[in-house]
Amino acid sequence: VQIAILLYDRLAALDAVGPYEVLSRLPGADVVTVGERTGPVRSDTGTLGLIVDHRIDDITTPDVVVVPGGPGKTTHLADGPVPRWLRAVDTTTTWTTSVCTGSLILAAAGLLTGRRATTYWRSIDELAAHGAIPVRERVVTDGKYVTGAGVSAGIDMALTLVAHIAGDAMAQRLQLTIEYDPQPPFDAGSPATAPADVLTALTT
Amino acid sequence: VQIAILLYDRLAALDAVGPYEVLSRLPGADVVTVGERTGPVRSDTGTLGLIVDHRIDDITTPDVVVVPGGPGKTTHLADGPVPRWLRAVDTTTTWTTSVCTGSLILAAAGLLTGRRATTYWRSIDELAAHGAIPVRERVVTDGKYVTGAGVSAGIDMALTLVAHIAGDAMAQRLQLTIEYDPQPPFDAGSPATAPADVLTALTT
Protein backbone atom coordinates (compact mmCIF):
# COMPACT_ATOMS: atom_id res chain seq x y z
CA VAL A 1 0.00 0.00 0.00
CA GLN A 2 1.26 3.44 -0.91
CA ILE A 3 0.66 5.98 1.84
CA ALA A 4 1.05 9.65 0.89
CA ILE A 5 1.62 12.11 3.72
CA LEU A 6 0.98 15.70 2.64
CA LEU A 7 3.47 18.31 3.83
CA TYR A 8 3.11 22.06 3.41
CA ASP A 9 4.51 25.25 4.90
CA ARG A 10 3.36 26.15 8.41
CA LEU A 11 1.99 22.69 9.19
CA ALA A 12 2.04 21.39 12.76
CA ALA A 13 4.93 18.93 12.43
CA LEU A 14 3.60 16.36 14.89
CA ASP A 15 0.36 16.15 12.89
CA ALA A 16 2.40 14.54 10.11
CA VAL A 17 5.16 12.80 12.06
CA GLY A 18 2.88 11.01 14.53
CA PRO A 19 1.10 9.07 11.75
CA TYR A 20 4.38 8.73 9.84
CA GLU A 21 5.99 6.98 12.81
CA VAL A 22 3.21 4.39 12.95
CA LEU A 23 2.47 3.93 9.25
CA SER A 24 6.09 3.73 8.09
CA ARG A 25 6.46 0.60 10.25
CA LEU A 26 3.53 -1.20 8.66
CA PRO A 27 4.95 -4.16 6.69
CA GLY A 28 4.45 -3.61 2.97
CA ALA A 29 3.68 0.07 3.33
CA ASP A 30 5.40 2.52 1.01
CA VAL A 31 5.23 5.87 2.78
CA VAL A 32 5.94 8.92 0.65
CA THR A 33 5.93 12.59 1.57
CA VAL A 34 4.17 14.78 -0.97
CA GLY A 35 3.71 18.49 -1.49
CA GLU A 36 3.25 21.14 -4.13
CA ARG A 37 7.03 21.29 -4.60
CA THR A 38 9.82 18.94 -3.57
CA GLY A 39 12.30 20.18 -1.00
CA PRO A 40 11.98 21.79 2.40
CA VAL A 41 8.87 23.09 4.12
CA ARG A 42 8.96 24.81 7.51
CA SER A 43 6.72 24.01 10.45
CA ASP A 44 4.30 26.52 11.94
CA THR A 45 6.84 27.73 14.52
CA GLY A 46 9.42 28.13 11.76
CA THR A 47 12.00 26.15 13.69
CA LEU A 48 11.73 22.72 12.06
CA GLY A 49 12.28 21.85 8.43
CA LEU A 50 10.77 18.73 6.83
CA ILE A 51 11.48 17.53 3.32
CA VAL A 52 8.92 16.89 0.61
CA ASP A 53 10.20 14.00 -1.53
CA HIS A 54 7.50 13.94 -4.23
CA ARG A 55 5.37 16.44 -6.06
CA ILE A 56 1.66 15.80 -5.64
CA ASP A 57 1.37 15.68 -9.43
CA ASP A 58 3.69 12.66 -9.47
CA ILE A 59 1.72 10.65 -6.90
CA THR A 60 -1.57 9.97 -8.62
CA THR A 61 -2.93 6.78 -7.08
CA PRO A 62 -1.97 6.53 -3.41
CA ASP A 63 -3.94 3.96 -1.44
CA VAL A 64 -3.95 6.12 1.67
CA VAL A 65 -3.69 9.90 2.05
CA VAL A 66 -2.84 11.64 5.33
CA VAL A 67 -3.55 15.38 5.60
CA PRO A 68 -2.03 17.17 8.60
CA GLY A 69 -3.22 20.48 10.00
CA GLY A 70 -1.65 23.66 11.28
CA PRO A 71 -1.92 27.39 10.53
CA GLY A 72 -0.73 26.78 6.96
CA LYS A 73 -3.97 24.94 6.25
CA THR A 74 -5.58 28.30 5.46
CA THR A 75 -3.73 28.42 2.15
CA HIS A 76 -5.39 25.17 1.11
CA LEU A 77 -8.97 25.95 2.10
CA ALA A 78 -9.44 28.00 -1.05
CA ASP A 79 -9.37 25.99 -4.26
CA GLY A 80 -5.90 25.32 -5.60
CA PRO A 81 -3.43 22.55 -6.39
CA VAL A 82 -3.77 20.73 -3.05
CA PRO A 83 -7.60 20.54 -2.93
CA ARG A 84 -7.63 19.58 -6.61
CA TRP A 85 -5.11 16.80 -5.96
CA LEU A 86 -7.08 15.59 -2.93
CA ARG A 87 -10.30 15.37 -4.95
CA ALA A 88 -8.50 13.53 -7.74
CA VAL A 89 -6.73 10.92 -5.59
CA ASP A 90 -9.75 10.45 -3.34
CA THR A 91 -11.55 8.81 -6.25
CA THR A 92 -9.21 5.81 -5.90
CA THR A 93 -7.94 5.88 -2.30
CA THR A 94 -8.84 3.10 0.10
CA TRP A 95 -8.55 5.51 3.03
CA THR A 96 -8.53 9.31 3.11
CA THR A 97 -7.42 10.62 6.49
CA SER A 98 -6.52 13.74 8.42
CA VAL A 99 -5.13 15.01 11.69
CA CYS A 100 -6.15 18.21 13.48
CA THR A 101 -7.26 20.96 11.09
CA GLY A 102 -6.28 18.76 8.16
CA SER A 103 -9.95 17.77 8.18
CA LEU A 104 -10.85 21.37 7.32
CA ILE A 105 -8.79 21.00 4.13
CA LEU A 106 -10.63 17.78 3.29
CA ALA A 107 -13.98 19.35 4.11
CA ALA A 108 -13.29 22.53 2.14
CA ALA A 109 -12.33 20.32 -0.81
CA GLY A 110 -15.82 18.85 -0.58
CA LEU A 111 -14.76 15.41 0.59
CA LEU A 112 -16.48 15.35 3.98
CA THR A 113 -19.88 16.72 3.00
CA GLY A 114 -22.50 15.07 5.20
CA ARG A 115 -19.87 12.90 6.88
CA ARG A 116 -19.01 12.63 10.56
CA ALA A 117 -15.54 14.01 11.25
CA THR A 118 -13.40 15.55 13.95
CA THR A 119 -10.67 18.20 14.13
CA TYR A 120 -8.69 20.35 16.57
CA TRP A 121 -10.79 21.30 19.59
CA ARG A 122 -10.65 25.00 18.74
CA SER A 123 -11.81 24.44 15.16
CA ILE A 124 -14.73 22.08 15.62
CA ASP A 125 -17.31 24.67 14.57
CA GLU A 126 -15.48 25.38 11.33
CA LEU A 127 -16.01 21.80 10.22
CA ALA A 128 -19.75 22.33 10.07
CA ALA A 129 -19.23 25.49 8.02
CA HIS A 130 -17.51 23.30 5.43
CA GLY A 131 -20.37 20.80 5.31
CA ALA A 132 -19.13 18.05 7.63
CA ILE A 133 -20.89 16.77 10.73
CA PRO A 134 -18.56 17.68 13.59
CA VAL A 135 -18.04 15.02 16.26
CA ARG A 136 -16.06 15.62 19.44
CA GLU A 137 -14.19 12.32 19.48
CA ARG A 138 -10.48 11.46 19.36
CA VAL A 139 -10.76 9.51 16.11
CA VAL A 140 -13.78 9.33 13.81
CA THR A 141 -14.24 6.78 11.04
CA ASP A 142 -17.01 7.38 8.51
CA GLY A 143 -16.73 5.07 5.53
CA LYS A 144 -13.19 5.41 4.20
CA TYR A 145 -12.65 8.76 5.94
CA VAL A 146 -10.70 8.65 9.19
CA THR A 147 -10.15 11.96 10.98
CA GLY A 148 -8.22 12.63 14.17
CA ALA A 149 -8.49 15.41 16.74
CA GLY A 150 -5.69 17.88 17.43
CA VAL A 151 -1.96 17.45 16.80
CA SER A 152 -1.03 14.50 19.03
CA ALA A 153 -4.20 12.63 18.00
CA GLY A 154 -2.47 11.59 14.80
CA ILE A 155 -0.91 8.69 16.68
CA ASP A 156 -4.32 7.42 17.80
CA MET A 157 -5.69 8.02 14.29
CA ALA A 158 -2.86 6.07 12.67
CA LEU A 159 -3.21 3.11 15.03
CA THR A 160 -6.94 3.03 14.32
CA LEU A 161 -6.16 3.16 10.60
CA VAL A 162 -3.69 0.27 10.88
CA ALA A 163 -6.36 -1.77 12.66
CA HIS A 164 -8.71 -1.06 9.73
CA ILE A 165 -6.05 -1.98 7.16
CA ALA A 166 -4.19 -4.86 8.76
CA GLY A 167 -6.09 -5.91 11.86
CA ASP A 168 -5.90 -5.37 15.59
CA ALA A 169 -2.82 -7.52 16.17
CA MET A 170 -0.75 -5.46 13.74
CA ALA A 171 -1.93 -2.21 15.32
CA GLN A 172 -0.96 -3.58 18.73
CA ARG A 173 2.44 -4.60 17.40
CA LEU A 174 3.10 -1.11 16.05
CA GLN A 175 1.84 0.42 19.29
CA LEU A 176 4.38 -1.63 21.22
CA THR A 177 7.08 -0.81 18.67
CA ILE A 178 6.69 2.90 19.36
CA GLU A 179 6.12 2.21 23.08
CA TYR A 180 2.85 4.12 22.97
CA ASP A 181 1.89 3.77 26.59
CA PRO A 182 1.05 7.43 27.15
CA GLN A 183 1.35 8.82 30.65
CA PRO A 184 0.72 12.56 30.42
CA PRO A 185 1.95 14.24 33.61
CA PHE A 186 -1.32 16.22 33.78
CA ASP A 187 -4.94 15.72 32.76
CA ALA A 188 -5.14 18.87 30.71
CA GLY A 189 -5.22 17.65 27.12
CA SER A 190 -8.85 18.37 26.41
CA PRO A 191 -11.00 21.46 27.02
CA ALA A 192 -13.25 19.15 29.06
CA THR A 193 -10.49 18.27 31.53
CA ALA A 194 -8.05 21.20 31.50
CA PRO A 195 -8.12 23.50 34.54
CA ALA A 196 -10.43 26.45 33.92
CA ASP A 197 -7.66 29.04 34.10
CA VAL A 198 -5.56 27.09 31.57
CA LEU A 199 -8.48 26.95 29.16
CA THR A 200 -9.21 30.63 29.70
CA ALA A 201 -5.59 31.56 29.00
CA LEU A 202 -5.83 29.92 25.58
CA THR A 203 -9.25 31.15 24.57
CA THR A 204 -9.30 34.80 25.60
CA VAL B 1 16.14 29.56 26.84
CA GLN B 2 17.89 27.96 23.90
CA ILE B 3 16.79 24.37 23.31
CA ALA B 4 18.97 22.28 20.99
CA ILE B 5 17.38 19.20 19.45
CA LEU B 6 19.98 16.82 18.02
CA LEU B 7 19.19 15.25 14.64
CA TYR B 8 21.20 12.51 12.96
CA ASP B 9 20.76 9.92 10.25
CA ARG B 10 18.53 6.95 11.06
CA LEU B 11 16.92 8.57 14.08
CA ALA B 12 13.35 7.71 15.04
CA ALA B 13 11.66 10.90 13.84
CA LEU B 14 8.96 11.01 16.50
CA ASP B 15 11.67 10.89 19.20
CA ALA B 16 12.68 14.37 18.07
CA VAL B 17 9.38 15.78 16.79
CA GLY B 18 7.33 14.90 19.90
CA PRO B 19 9.50 17.08 22.16
CA TYR B 20 9.87 19.67 19.38
CA GLU B 21 6.10 20.10 19.19
CA VAL B 22 5.86 20.83 22.92
CA LEU B 23 9.06 22.79 23.47
CA SER B 24 8.75 25.02 20.39
CA ARG B 25 5.51 26.41 21.89
CA LEU B 26 7.12 27.39 25.20
CA PRO B 27 7.10 31.20 25.36
CA GLY B 28 10.66 32.52 25.20
CA ALA B 29 12.11 29.26 23.96
CA ASP B 30 14.49 29.34 21.01
CA VAL B 31 14.41 25.84 19.56
CA VAL B 32 17.23 24.95 17.18
CA THR B 33 17.95 21.72 15.36
CA VAL B 34 21.60 20.70 15.49
CA GLY B 35 23.72 17.99 13.91
CA GLU B 36 27.18 17.19 12.66
CA ARG B 37 26.38 18.87 9.36
CA THR B 38 23.61 21.22 8.29
CA GLY B 39 21.10 19.98 5.75
CA PRO B 40 18.97 16.86 5.48
CA VAL B 41 19.08 13.72 7.58
CA ARG B 42 16.88 10.70 6.92
CA SER B 43 14.81 8.86 9.49
CA ASP B 44 15.38 5.20 10.36
CA THR B 45 12.83 4.00 7.80
CA GLY B 46 14.46 6.19 5.15
CA THR B 47 11.15 7.71 4.15
CA LEU B 48 11.23 11.01 6.03
CA GLY B 49 13.77 13.80 5.73
CA LEU B 50 14.36 16.34 8.49
CA ILE B 51 16.61 19.37 8.21
CA VAL B 52 19.51 20.22 10.50
CA ASP B 53 19.72 24.02 10.74
CA HIS B 54 22.89 24.38 12.83
CA ARG B 55 26.21 22.58 13.17
CA ILE B 56 26.81 21.34 16.69
CA ASP B 57 30.08 23.29 16.67
CA ASP B 58 28.10 26.51 16.28
CA ILE B 59 25.77 25.89 19.23
CA THR B 60 28.06 25.91 22.21
CA THR B 61 25.91 26.96 25.17
CA PRO B 62 22.36 25.62 24.81
CA ASP B 63 20.30 25.73 27.98
CA VAL B 64 18.55 22.48 27.12
CA VAL B 65 19.68 19.57 24.99
CA VAL B 66 17.31 16.90 23.62
CA VAL B 67 18.86 13.67 22.30
CA PRO B 68 16.53 11.38 20.33
CA GLY B 69 17.10 7.67 19.73
CA GLY B 70 16.78 5.26 16.85
CA PRO B 71 19.01 2.76 15.07
CA GLY B 72 21.41 5.54 14.06
CA LYS B 73 22.34 5.99 17.72
CA THR B 74 24.92 3.23 17.27
CA THR B 75 27.16 5.62 15.35
CA HIS B 76 27.27 7.92 18.36
CA LEU B 77 27.94 5.35 21.08
CA ALA B 78 31.62 5.26 20.15
CA ASP B 79 33.49 8.47 20.85
CA GLY B 80 33.21 11.09 18.14
CA PRO B 81 31.91 14.59 17.43
CA VAL B 82 28.46 14.07 18.95
CA PRO B 83 29.55 12.59 22.31
CA ARG B 84 32.30 15.21 22.54
CA TRP B 85 29.78 17.98 21.90
CA LEU B 86 27.37 16.51 24.45
CA ARG B 87 30.06 16.41 27.12
CA ALA B 88 31.10 19.98 26.33
CA VAL B 89 27.62 21.53 26.36
CA ASP B 90 26.52 19.48 29.36
CA THR B 91 28.91 21.50 31.50
CA THR B 92 26.62 24.50 31.11
CA THR B 93 23.15 23.10 30.32
CA THR B 94 20.30 23.57 32.72
CA TRP B 95 18.69 20.36 31.48
CA THR B 96 20.16 17.49 29.49
CA THR B 97 17.45 15.19 28.15
CA SER B 98 16.78 12.22 25.91
CA VAL B 99 14.05 10.12 24.36
CA CYS B 100 14.18 6.37 23.69
CA THR B 101 17.71 5.11 23.01
CA GLY B 102 19.00 8.67 23.07
CA SER B 103 19.79 7.90 26.70
CA LEU B 104 22.30 5.30 25.50
CA ILE B 105 24.15 8.08 23.68
CA LEU B 106 24.17 10.18 26.85
CA ALA B 107 25.24 7.21 28.96
CA ALA B 108 27.98 6.14 26.54
CA ALA B 109 29.25 9.71 26.61
CA GLY B 110 29.62 9.27 30.37
CA LEU B 111 26.88 11.67 31.36
CA LEU B 112 24.55 9.25 33.15
CA THR B 113 27.08 7.36 35.25
CA GLY B 114 25.44 6.39 38.51
CA ARG B 115 22.24 8.19 37.56
CA ARG B 116 18.71 6.82 37.28
CA ALA B 117 17.53 6.85 33.68
CA THR B 118 15.13 5.17 31.29
CA THR B 119 15.15 4.20 27.61
CA TYR B 120 13.29 2.12 25.00
CA TRP B 121 11.82 -1.01 26.56
CA ARG B 122 13.99 -3.30 24.43
CA SER B 123 17.21 -1.48 25.40
CA ILE B 124 16.82 -1.14 29.15
CA ASP B 125 19.64 -3.59 29.90
CA GLU B 126 22.08 -1.68 27.70
CA LEU B 127 21.72 1.37 29.92
CA ALA B 128 23.34 -0.48 32.81
CA ALA B 129 26.18 -1.57 30.54
CA HIS B 130 26.91 2.11 30.00
CA GLY B 131 26.96 2.89 33.72
CA ALA B 132 23.46 4.25 34.31
CA ILE B 133 20.89 2.87 36.73
CA PRO B 134 18.02 1.65 34.53
CA VAL B 135 14.51 2.46 35.69
CA ARG B 136 11.38 1.16 33.97
CA GLU B 137 9.38 4.37 34.12
CA ARG B 138 7.89 6.59 31.42
CA VAL B 139 9.95 9.64 32.38
CA VAL B 140 12.84 9.74 34.84
CA THR B 141 14.32 12.92 36.32
CA ASP B 142 17.64 12.64 38.15
CA GLY B 143 19.14 16.04 38.86
CA LYS B 144 19.22 17.93 35.57
CA TYR B 145 18.93 14.74 33.50
CA VAL B 146 15.46 13.92 32.18
CA THR B 147 15.11 10.73 30.15
CA GLY B 148 12.03 9.35 28.44
CA ALA B 149 11.06 5.83 27.44
CA GLY B 150 10.56 4.73 23.82
CA VAL B 151 9.65 6.92 20.81
CA SER B 152 6.23 8.35 21.75
CA ALA B 153 7.42 8.99 25.33
CA GLY B 154 9.13 12.15 24.15
CA ILE B 155 5.82 13.98 24.49
CA ASP B 156 5.51 12.96 28.15
CA MET B 157 9.18 13.79 28.69
CA ALA B 158 8.81 17.25 27.17
CA LEU B 159 5.72 18.10 29.21
CA THR B 160 7.55 16.99 32.36
CA LEU B 161 10.49 19.15 31.32
CA VAL B 162 8.26 22.18 30.75
CA ALA B 163 6.81 21.70 34.24
CA HIS B 164 10.38 21.73 35.60
CA ILE B 165 11.29 24.84 33.60
CA ALA B 166 8.13 26.92 33.66
CA GLY B 167 5.72 25.32 36.12
CA ASP B 168 2.71 23.05 35.96
CA ALA B 169 0.30 25.63 34.53
CA MET B 170 2.51 26.19 31.49
CA ALA B 171 2.87 22.44 30.93
CA GLN B 172 -0.90 22.08 31.10
CA ARG B 173 -1.33 24.95 28.65
CA LEU B 174 1.01 23.30 26.15
CA GLN B 175 -0.69 19.94 26.68
CA LEU B 176 -4.02 21.52 25.76
CA THR B 177 -2.43 23.33 22.82
CA ILE B 178 -1.37 20.02 21.28
CA GLU B 179 -4.61 18.36 22.45
CA TYR B 180 -2.64 15.67 24.21
CA ASP B 181 -5.54 13.65 25.53
CA PRO B 182 -4.23 10.27 24.38
CA GLN B 183 -6.74 7.52 23.68
CA PRO B 184 -4.82 4.57 22.26
CA PRO B 185 -7.25 2.17 20.61
CA PHE B 186 -5.49 -0.74 22.37
CA ASP B 187 -3.63 -1.29 25.63
CA ALA B 188 -0.51 -2.67 23.98
CA GLY B 189 2.06 0.07 24.37
CA SER B 190 4.17 -1.58 27.02
CA PRO B 191 5.63 -5.09 27.27
CA ALA B 192 3.72 -5.33 30.56
CA THR B 193 0.33 -4.83 28.90
CA ALA B 194 0.74 -6.02 25.30
CA PRO B 195 -0.88 -9.36 24.42
CA ALA B 196 1.62 -12.18 24.80
CA ASP B 197 1.60 -13.09 21.11
CA VAL B 198 2.24 -9.47 20.12
CA LEU B 199 5.21 -9.28 22.47
CA THR B 200 6.51 -12.62 21.21
CA ALA B 201 6.26 -11.49 17.58
CA LEU B 202 8.58 -8.56 18.35
CA THR B 203 11.09 -10.35 20.53
CA THR B 204 11.71 -13.63 18.75
Write the DSSP string, A87-105: HHHHTT-SEEEEETTHHHH
Chain-centroid distance, C-alpha A45: 18
ipTM score of the complex? 0.96
* Distance from the B155 Cα atom to the nearest Cα atom in chain A, whole angstroms: 8
| The residue type at A47 | T
Beta carbons within 8 Å of B79's beta carbon, 6+ residues apart: none
Within 10 A of A196 (CB to CB), how many other CB atoms are there? 7
* Distance from the B156 Cα atom to the nearest Cα atom in chain A, whole angstroms: 5
Q: Output the furthest CA–CA distance in chain A (Å, rounded).
A: 48
Q: What are phi and psi of A163, to 5 degrees?
A: -60, -40
Dihedral of the alpha carbons of A144, A146, A147, A151, in degrees to the nearest 10 = -140
Bridge-partner residues for B52, per DSSP?
B39
A31 vs B contacts (CB less than 8 Å): 45, 47-48
Q: Which residue of B has its CA nearest to A22?
A: B14
**Contacts with B, A 43-62, CB within 8 Å:** 43, 45, 47-51, 53
Q: Which of A21, A138, A187 to mutate to test the interface with B (most CBs of B within 10 A)?
A: A21
Q: Do A186 and B171 touch (CB under 8 A)?
A: yes
Q: Do A155 and B182 touch (CB under 8 A)?
A: yes
Within 10 A of A9 (CB to CB), how many other CB atoms are there? 19
3-state secondary structure of A22: helix
Q: How confident is the model at residue A204 (pLDDT cuts 50, 70, 90)?
A: confident
B40 vs A contacts (CB less than 8 Å): 51
* Average pLDDT score, chain A: 97
The CA angle A126-A132-A137, to the nearest 5 degrees, is 80
Beta carbons within 8 Å of B104's beta carbon, 6+ residues apart: B69, B73, B77, B119, B123, B126, B127, B130
Residues of B tagged active-site: 100
**pTM of this structure:** 0.97
Q: Which of A15, A162, A179 to mutate to test the interface with B (most CBs of B within 10 A)?
A: A179
A183 vs B contacts (CB less than 8 Å): 138-139, 156
Using a 10 angstrom Cβ sphere, with 0-12 exposed, 13-18 middle and 19 or more buried, the burial of residue B90 is: middle
What's the pLDDT at A41? 98
Q: Do A194 and B179 touch (CB under 8 A)?
A: no
User: What mean pLDDT do residues A29-57 have?
Assistant: 98
Q: Do B182 and A189 touch (CB under 8 A)?
A: yes
A201 vs B contacts (CB less than 8 Å): 169, 173
CA-based nearest residue to B150, from B126, B124, B127, B120: B120
Q: Which of B15, B121, B174, B183 to mutate to test the interface with A (most CBs of A within 10 A)?
A: B183
Q: Do A195 and B169 touch (CB under 8 A)?
A: yes
Q: How many CB pairs under 8 A join A and B?
A: 236
Q: Do A173 and B202 touch (CB under 8 A)?
A: yes
What's the pLDDT at B135? 97
- For residues A121 and A136, what is the distance between their CA atoms, to the nearest angstrom? 8
Q: What are phi and psi of B107, to 5 degrees?
A: -65, -45
Q: Which residue of A has its CA nearest to B172?
A: A188
Q: Say which of B151, B175, B195 has its CB closest to residue A188.
A: B175
- For residues A155 and A100, what is the distance between their CA atoms, to the nearest angstrom? 11
Please identify every stretch of chain B with a pLDDT value under 50, giving residue numbers as ranges: none
What's the pLDDT at B204? 81
What's the pLDDT at B139? 98
What's the pLDDT at A60? 98
| The residue type at B111 | L
**Contacts with B, A 26-45, CB within 8 Å:** 30-33, 40, 43, 45
- For residues A33 and B124, what is the distance between their CA atoms, to the nearest angstrom? 33
| The residue type at A57 | D
Q: Are A115 and A97 in contact (CB under 8 A)?
A: no
